Chain A
């Protein structure tokens, strides 16, 4: 189980403190599939980063009772001047697994070909997303944090993600952040909407949508 209790996050700006998250409470149970809706800049990515532990909240408590992935996003989490293979090695060392067992799987999944041994900074965003996704599958987490990764990439990539995450690992939890409707509708069992730094939870995706659209309209 992962829980956020009364999380607030402020960023310093030139015109004073800017509140991104304002007292967010959230619990993620094993196997739960949660979608987070919100406009650009609503604090979705900040929340994901706080869940992962990459960033600390200004106040509030984070408890992680299961292993949580880093935020799987287009670019982040990789050292650009290292190759895809070196990034795989680095991440495996950090999470204490033997990279030698994983090279073949990642090389195969990402279909990067010779680019697997080229610096990540030469990758397109789709290629970086494939690498991020494949490495996180290789490390194996109880809960995957998916920050828009699924929405890039082609049909083939979607089909593979579909199989690896939503079928092979359907016992795991994930939190998926998106401003696109169909991803969340397709994969999540419940959803939250971030508006003005407040998180509202809905057990019905349709109810979450209705609220989300209403908030955009205003």
Chain B
């Protein structure tokens, strides 16, 4: 038999994450009524509600950007990183018993929860876009490539953020409370509610420090084409993601050393 330690380790991790995913689906959604479909429906209903509110609020009369597409792109982006990080907060405790199994690591819990959250957010984003574009409430996206690029970068950001927030929440009770305040404040700042072009010059520079703003800008570039200039810098976003990922991995590793199965 040919044994490659690294390949074997990957195989184990894939199995563990798969098992955790199924476990998560069963405990969160159960096997009743539509069960697992809620993964997609929950973010969909959220996005629908917000889009509806903005439509009724006639935000679309203020600019030449179609409001439904604006709401869907903005709100889906927020959901991706916010839900992921929220689900990673205090994620270890309900899984502590499973840590009795040597192959189940702290990082697997975070990864499986992140995958589940992102799967839901992605499905919701895609399905809403297809439905609304098919029935003519909004136009089909101008170009799919930047949308994929922006979404993948946002997904990467979500992983890193999940690692960091998840690992820190195991150390201090404080972060759980503070994190909810931070997400609340970040929601309007993250690009969901504005296009960078609408802001005054000085403000633009400040907002572009926030990594997720770049993700939303890239996605909207793909949706609207050249209707409104966008100010994204994918290299900056990727670089921030890389740094956050390294910080996250270090924190998760440290967290794993302190976890005691009960």
Contact = CB atoms under 8 A, between A and B. Distances in A.
Interface string B68-108: 00000000000000000000000000110111111110000
Interface in A53-108: 53-56, 68, 70-71, 75-82, 86, 89-91, 93-96
Contacts of A90: 19, 22-23, 98
A53 B256 CA distance: 12
B97 A77 contact: yes
Contacts of A149: none
A93 B22 contact: yes
Contact of A77 (B15, B101, B257): B101
B22 to A, nearest CB: 7
A79 B102 contact: no
Interface string B1-40: 0000000000010011011001100110000000000000
Given A55-B261, A79-B27, A90-B22, A70 B102 contact: yes
Nearest to B28: A81
Contacts, number: 66
A130 B204 CA distance: 63
Interface of A, secondary structure class, is loop
Secondary structure at the B interface, as helix, strand, loop or mixed, is helix
Given A49-B261, A76-B262, A70 B100 contact: yes
Nearest to B30: A81
A76 B260 CA distance: 11
Nearest to A11: B260
Contacts of A68: 102
A82 B23 contact: yes
A81 B26 CA distance: 9
7 contacts: A54-B102, A76-B261, A77-B97, A90-B98, A93-B16, A94-B15, A94-B103
Interface of B: 12, 15-16, 18-19, 22-23, 26-27, 94-95, 97-104, 256-257, 260-262
Interface of A: 49, 52-56, 68, 70-71, 75-82, 86, 89-91, 93-96
